[in-house]
Amino acid sequence: MFYYRGSPTAEVLVVASSHVIAHPVALSKNARTVLERRYLLRDSAGVVIETPEQLFARVAEAIALVESDSMRGAWAQRFYDAMASLRFLPNSPTLMNAGTGRGTLAACFVLPVEDSMESIMSTAQAAAMVQKFGGGTGFSFSRLRGVGESIATTHGAACGPVSVLQHYDDVSRLVTQGGKRDGANMGVLRVDHPDVRAFIHAKDDGVTAQRFNISIAVTDAFMQAAADGREFTLRDPRDGTPRGTVDAAELLDEIARSAWLTGDPGLLFLDTINASNPTPALGAIESTNPCGEVPLLPWEACTLGSINVARFWNADAGDLDWDALRETVTLGIRFLDDVVEVNTFPLQEIADAVRGNRKVGLGMMGWADLLIAAGLAYDSEAALALAGRLARTIGEAADAASAALGAEKGVFPNWERSIYVGGARYRNATRTCIAPTGTIAIIAGASSGIEPLFSLAHMRRMGDGTVLTEVATAFEQTAREGNFFRPELMEALARGARLNARDDVPPEAKRRFVTAHEVSSEWHVRMQAAFQAHTDLAVSKTVNMPNEATPEDVRASYVRAHALGCKGVTVYRDGSRAVQVLAHEIAPRADSNAGAPVGEPYRRRLPDERPAVTHKFRVGEQEGYITVGLFEDGTPGEVFIKMAKEGSTVSGLTDAVALLTSVALQYGVTIERLADKLEHTRFEPYGSTGNAELPFATSMLDYIFRWLRLHFGESGTNSKATSASGIACPDCGLQLAYVEQCLLCESCGYSRCG
């Protein structure tokens, strides 16, 4: 049963919770804030009309609608209990859209790109529809002929994969995923494509395809050729005709160096992926979803959910409650299978492909929390052993649950064309996948996926603009119990200090609370491989490396990941992105006017000739220029703002703001202090900006001062480039962490993924 909830003007359709007993949910303050900002339903006036308990009830009721009349209420209650206990959560689109009558419940889609203008343009339209519904899209450009190849029908020349990539990026810029977040995409090109080198460097300029992750799909033959130092043949994708050769080792080095510099591209191991393709008769897998953990056939989508494994730790027994874990896995598989049935899709081709194979991906979060509770270091043999046992247990329970559903409801329609024919009668072609859990992990109060902790403390911007230090719960508890908790230590960690470099922390705590940047690349890859060995789809994991890592270290991670059976690998070297502006490393600026008399205002004058930086920007339909004049030490001393439409109210406002900002800077007021007051102001014009760093602005002043903070704030001028992403959150301006092959803000919950 459905009804309209909220004010008489509410435009959201929700499920009536007639069966569910909605007991209270124990959420952290941050989790409630994230839910309110990103998940809870609002009426047409933007007023929140839903509690977290009602959200989980809405989702539980909506998903249980496909169960039998006699059991619907019981399943809805069990679904609610699993979510409300924070033991299991589905992916974000399901939480946002289930029971609302809008959007899709799946996050991950792959669309076909054939070598024709009709296919290129129709796929662009399909991508826009998918992202409008709330999904992320993956594409393989490997079937497109190389740039400059002849086109018989027009006597012209092909534009090549990179140009099509740019076009799809432009399409994505126009669409916000389900009205909630920017479009996310994956672009893949085979390593034997003639344009592979251009594709490797497609994002190097910091402008092109910034809404894409890009990956090179490498084959076993290529990896062997690189190991042997042999030549490797590039081929025309249409007929396999040779199009020259490359030195395989040099090409792998080039990929590694690009990833070392920019974070792109990642690698997909194509033969490993297709070795576990459950339906090879339907075609080969050529691409994945945006975060790389869901290899899919064209038109397929996958429904994802994650179990918070830390919730199953029994401290008294010193072990996991394995029986309770298996029960939750069984329930999670049923929930995700029901999502396949109840889901709506923007295109019939997607609906047919999804229901033909009924792929689901049940994964986990809270792995780092579990290790901490168990007293195990992330980079230890004991942790690897537990990872293998945990992944195997979840995989076996998921297989059993899907087989039971196959007996109850029938196998997936393409079962007879699958690798399972004559064997296990699964309801779902795939059952397990370790996906990014960024935002849902915040809701669950869990660490992200199978990643180590990204940081032990981080900055959080509050609603009034103040910035507080937030400490990981387990670390704070340990520090207090061990008598080494001090606010100055926590603040130092939030600003980027490494625990293992501190003399005031016990060695045991340093070992137990190792963070992503302190885990060696070898251990990152080994952990990924341990989970991949028992996972149907793939594993979303970032191999974090310190700033001092070399391109050779990146290459070694590629070789190791391939040898250990990973399906892909993404390497992120600390400080590798072009812009390194975070609140992770705010260092106090030296007082250049320390000798000024107390109480006497001192104005620092700019020299008559001074350098300046000019930035062109757009907010909505309004364009303008920001020019920042610099003191001799490179710090900002004046700001000029010129709008394209002179004489307008906005132009007059920005002139006045620029004048006041300049005076304030010369009297010692920092960009940080000014930005704290003027960021996130809301008035017209507002809208998209075309700037990948700051894709949306709530006003002209919001954009101007977020840009100033980004480039001239304390973190901008003093950052030592030690943060994981080097990109400021477009919502709150604080740190984005690069974890699980995805960007996540631990402060406000912004995520490009799940």
CB 471 within 8 A of CB 459: no
293 is catalytic: yes
Selected catalytic residue, list 53, 67, 286, 293: 293
CB 176 within 8 A of CB 182: yes
Q: What angle do CA 702, 707, 708 make, to 5 degrees?
A: 105
Give me the residues paired with residue 319 across strands.
Answer: 314
The C-alpha atoms of residue 543 and residue 263 are separated, in whole angstroms, by 11
Give CA separation, 516 vs 116, 448, 451, 734, 738, in Å.
44, 11, 7, 19, 10
- Tell me the two tokens of residue 660: 């006041």
The C-alpha atoms of residue 702 and residue 552 are separated, in whole angstroms, by 42
- Tell me the two tokens of residue 26: 């124990």
302 is catalytic: no
Residue 482 is classified by DSSP as T
- Sorted by sequence, the CB contacts under 8 Å of residue 137 that are 6+ apart come out as 109, 110, 111, 127, 130, 131, 172, 183, 184, 185, 186, 289, 290
236 alpha-carbon distance from chain centroid? 33
340 alpha-carbon distance from chain centroid? 23
Find the helix packing angle between 367-374 and 381-409, rounded to 10°.
130
Selected catalytic residue, list 91, 289, 357, 414: 289
The C-alpha atoms of residue 739 and residue 458 are separated, in whole angstroms, by 15
Short-list 326, 357, 262, CA closest to 571: 262
The C-alpha atoms of residue 701 and residue 495 are separated, in whole angstroms, by 27
Short-list 242, 146, 248, CA closest to 199: 146
Burial letters for 334-362: b for 16+ Cβ neighbours within 10 Å, e otherwise?
bbbbbbbebbebbbeebeebbebbbbbbb
Largest Cα span, the chain: 88
- Tell me the two tokens of residue 510: 């340093």
Short-list 327, 363, 352, 344, CA closest to 438: 363
Q: Which H or E run contains 74?
A: helix 72-84
CA dihedral 490, 494, 496, 501 (to 10 degrees): 20
Selected catalytic residue, list 291, 729, 732, 742: 291
- Tell me the two tokens of residue 430: 């795939």
Question: What sign has the CA pseudo-torsion 701, 702, 705, 707?
Answer: negative
The C-alpha atoms of residue 750 and residue 729 are separated, in whole angstroms, by 7
Short-list 188, 191, 193, 162, CA closest to 250: 191
314 is catalytic: no
Question: What sign has the CA pseudo-torsion 415, 418, 423, 428?
Answer: negative
Question: What sign has the CA pseudo-torsion 368, 371, 373, 377?
Answer: negative
Alpha helices in 608-740 (DSSP H): 649-666, 671-678, 700-712, 714-718
Give phi and psi for 473, each to the nearest 5. -55, -50
- Sorted by sequence, the CB contacts under 8 Å of residue 273 that are 6+ apart come out as 285, 295, 538, 567, 568
**Which residues are catalytic, by number?**
289, 291, 293
